[in-house]
């Protein structure tokens, strides 16, 4: 069993080495979509932080049903961090959120804690 794992690992490394940087990025994003991340989304009004969502697996771009073109907003699920302490406290619930690409200043990053 250990030899199979080593062989598969070596095969993946060799295949990734032959890919372009963009292909490697796509593979990395696919793995991250499957495993999820512990993302944080901060939304600003000017320079003031007004909302924070934590424990986000991923942000998605909306696409049209019939034309399949990307829409100018993103959406996801995460916990609304009401007191903005970067911790999921009792009473903070998982919510659906969306925000416009045009009207919102936002930062999405992996939780450093």
Question: pLDDT-based confidence at 104, cuts 50/70/90?
Answer: confident
Please check whether residues 13 and 61 belong to one and the same domain. Answer: no
- The structural domain count of the chain equals 2
Mean pLDDT of the chain: 80
Please check whether residues 68 and 28 belong to one and the same domain. Answer: no
Tokens of 61: 């771009």
Whole-number Å distance between alpha carbons of 86 and 88: 7
Please check whether residues 54 and 69 belong to one and the same domain. Answer: yes
Please check whether residues 1 and 44 belong to one and the same domain. Answer: no
pLDDT of 18: 63
Please check whether residues 92 and 113 belong to one and the same domain. Answer: yes
Please check whether residues 99 and 47 belong to one and the same domain. Answer: yes
Question: pLDDT-based confidence at 71, cuts 50/70/90?
Answer: very high
In the DSSP assignment, the letter for residue 88 is -
Give the residue among 46, 70, 48, 73 at the shortest CA–CA distance from 59. 73
Question: pLDDT-based confidence at 68, cuts 50/70/90?
Answer: confident
Question: pLDDT-based confidence at 35, cuts 50/70/90?
Answer: very low
pLDDT of 10: 58
Please check whether residues 47 and 23 belong to one and the same domain. Answer: no
Please check whether residues 41 and 55 belong to one and the same domain. Answer: yes
Please check whether residues 70 and 50 belong to one and the same domain. Answer: yes
Tell me which residue range forms the domain holding 75. 37-113
Please check whether residues 8 and 55 belong to one and the same domain. Answer: no
Q: Cα dist. 36→5, 29, 30, 67, 82 in Å?
A: 23, 10, 10, 28, 23
Please check whether residues 41 and 11 belong to one and the same domain. Answer: no
pLDDT digits (tens, 9 = 90+) for 77-101: 999 999 999 999 999 999 999 988 8
39-45 and 94-100 beta bridge pairing? unpaired
Please check whether residues 49 and 93 belong to one and the same domain. Answer: yes
Count Cβ neighbours within 10 Å for each residue of 41-67 and write b for 16 or more, e otherwise. Answer: bbbeeeeeeebbbbbbeebeeeeeeee
């Amino acid at each position: 069993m250990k030899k199979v794992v080593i062989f598969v690992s070596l095969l993946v490394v060799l295949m990734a080495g032959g890919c372009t940087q963009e292909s490697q990025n796509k593979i990395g994003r696919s793995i991250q979509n499957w495993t999820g991340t512990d993302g944080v989304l901060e939304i600003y009004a000017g320079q003031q932080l007004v909302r924070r969502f934590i424990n986000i697996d991923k942000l998605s771009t909306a696409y049209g049903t019939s034309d399949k073109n990307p829409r100018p907003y993103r959406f996801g699920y995460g916990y609304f961090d009401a007191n903005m302490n970067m911790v999921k406290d009792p009473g903070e619930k998982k919510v659906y959120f969306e925000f416009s690409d045009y009207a919102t200043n936002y930062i999405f990053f992996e939780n450093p804690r």
